[in-house]
Amino acid sequence: MTREGDNLEVAVIESNPTITQPLLSQLAAASFTPRDLAPNRALLESPGWSGPDVILVGLDDDRSQRLAFARRLHGTYPSAIILGYTANYTADALGEAMGAGARRVLRYPFEASALRQAVSDVRDELRAFAGPAPAAPQVQTRPVITGLSATPGYVSDKPNQLIAVFSPKGGVGCSTLAVNLALALQLLGHQTALVDGNISFGSLEVFLELQPVRSILQLVGDVEHMTSEAVLETLVPHPSGLQVLLAPLRPEEGDSIRGEHMQRVLSTLKQHFPFTLVDTWPSYDERVLAVLEIADIILVPIGPDLPAMKNLNSFLRVARLLNYDMDKIVPVLMRANSVPPGHLKDLEAFLKQELKWRVVSDGKRATAAANTGTPFVLSARDSQISQNIFDIARYLGGEYEAGEPASKAKQPASGRFWKR
């Protein structure tokens, strides 16, 4: 049974004595019930112990060993929440912790209130999953995954979705949105694939700090004979469990990839993953149009300025000409808070549509994330920019359909945005 409020039992997995004692004392002073569970202690079978509420893992020494211990403990007491702490927020530490099932990573030293808040936030999130989330994974034929996803496989009765992120104008945040949204979906428990559809100048391996050991180039050839196995084997796993299909490393190699390859690859991924996201580049190139044609949803990030609105309008004209279902085109207003609200109203009046999906401006985090290879939904999950992305992920995952939480009033309740 989980305890609420005070007296939360916290199993601390730490073997550095200069950290263990002060941390245990700090927790006890703040009305937690701490338990020292250095990885070499065999305390699991204490008679009558119902297990901890929180498994708190120090990530700065012996990380793999401690996380393995945390996972074993979690296997015995699955209602416990795994949290990490580290003085060094590195991509490796975060990725490995998330891969072992940690729901949050705190920066050490931390206030007891930050720990309590993290527990409360995670419990809220888990309650949202409580209804429709049996543990069995939805993906039948899954590619090899080196890390575990942060939450158990989320089973939905919604059909699998192929989501393209496209902007007719460059530099507005397509890749930022695609990477962080794909990761947010994965962290929410939806097995997700991310494809670098920026065939000649893609750089998702940099955004996600992946080794570009394989790329879509390996799938070029006879489209008719491209097998599911070949497509799945070409994916590169991120420690979060997200599976990524990278673009060729050399721009000129992209020339051999045609629209029909893209369609075949994406259709295959869609059969296997609840969500497949595709980053694109700002062009009406045959390969981009092939992606947009078969996408179920086209997210269009736009800046809050008139030229961006004009570009969006011209894309909508093209989409009508190509006979796309206009309901699948969803604008996402980036840097939404960088202009006064009155200006946003003018933009909506110009478009004759409400701009419901919004992501705040946070150039510092967005740039740092791209430079370090740790997307902000991982490194700063509680920041406003990450929360905006998680909100979009929750809507896509169908989490808010039954009833819209008041705090999410700015976000749409269903997926219809553009009328013919």
Return the number of other C-beta atoms located less than 10 Å from residue 395's C-beta: 21
Cα 372 to Cα 171: distance, rounded to the nearest angstrom: 19
Cα 334 to Cα 309: distance, rounded to the nearest angstrom: 12
Q: Is the dihedral of CA 125, 126, 132, 133 positive or negative?
A: positive
Whose Cβ is closer to ligand ATP: residue 86's or residue 180's? Answer: 180
Among 296, 256, 251, 303, CA closest to 277: 296
The yes or no reply on residue 175 touching Mg ion (CB under 5 A) is: yes
Whose Cβ is closer to ligand ATP: residue 172's or residue 269's? Answer: 172
142: tokens are: 């899954």
Residues whose CB is less than 8 angstroms from the CB of residue 364 and which lie 6 or more positions away in sequence, other chains included: none
Binding mask 65-104 for Mg ion (x = CB under 5 A): ----------------------------------------
Residue type, 170: G
Q: Where do the H-state alpha helices sit in 145-223?
A: 174-187, 204-207
The yes or no reply on residue 386 touching Mg ion (CB under 5 A) is: no
Applying the rule CB under 6 A, the residues between 154 and 183 that interact with ligand ATP are 167, 170-176
The yes or no reply on residue 167 touching Mg ion (CB under 5 A) is: no
The yes or no reply on residue 19 touching Mg ion (CB under 5 A) is: no
Q: Which of 174, 245, 298, 329 forms a contact with Mg ion (CB under 5 A)?
A: 174
Kindly report the backbone phi and psi dihedral angles of residue 35, in degrees, each rounded to the nearest multiple of 5, phi listed first.
-135, 125
The span of 56-64, 119-127, 307-315, 356-364 binding ligand ATP (CB under 6 A) equals: 356-364
Whose Cβ is closer to ligand ATP: residue 166's or residue 273's? Answer: 166
The yes or no reply on residue 380 touching ligand ATP (CB under 6 A) is: no
173 binds, among Mg ion, ligand ATP, none (CB under 5 to 8 A by kind): ligand ATP
Q: How far is the CB of 197 from ligand ATP (least distance, A)?
A: 11
188 binds, among ligand ATP, Mg ion, none (CB under 5 to 8 A by kind): none
C-beta of residue 134 within 8 angstroms of C-beta of residue 269: no
Q: How far is the CB of 367 from ligand ATP (least distance, A)?
A: 4
The yes or no reply on residue 184 touching ligand ATP (CB under 6 A) is: no
C-beta of residue 97 within 8 angstroms of C-beta of residue 88: no
DSSP at 200: T
Binding mask 357-376 for ligand ATP (x = CB under 6 A): --x-xxx--xx--x------
Among 30, 19, 31, 92, CA closest to 57: 19
End-to-end CA distance of the chain: 53
Cα 399 to Cα 258: distance, rounded to the nearest angstrom: 36
Q: How far is the CB of 389 from ligand ATP (least distance, A)?
A: 9
Whose Cβ is closer to ligand ATP: residue 226's or residue 247's? Answer: 247
Whose Cβ is closer to Mg ion: residue 98's or residue 174's? Answer: 174
Q: How far is the CB of 251 from ligand ATP (least distance, A)?
A: 13
Cα 366 to Cα 94: distance, rounded to the nearest angstrom: 17
Applying the rule CB under 6 A, the residues between 264 and 303 that interact with ligand ATP are 281-282
**CB crowding 36-47: b at 16 or more within 10 Å, else e:** ebbbeeeeeeee
Binding site residues, ligand ATP, CB under 6 A: 167, 170-176, 198, 281-282, 334-335, 359, 361-363, 366-367, 370, 385
Binding site residues, Mg ion, CB under 5 A: 174-175
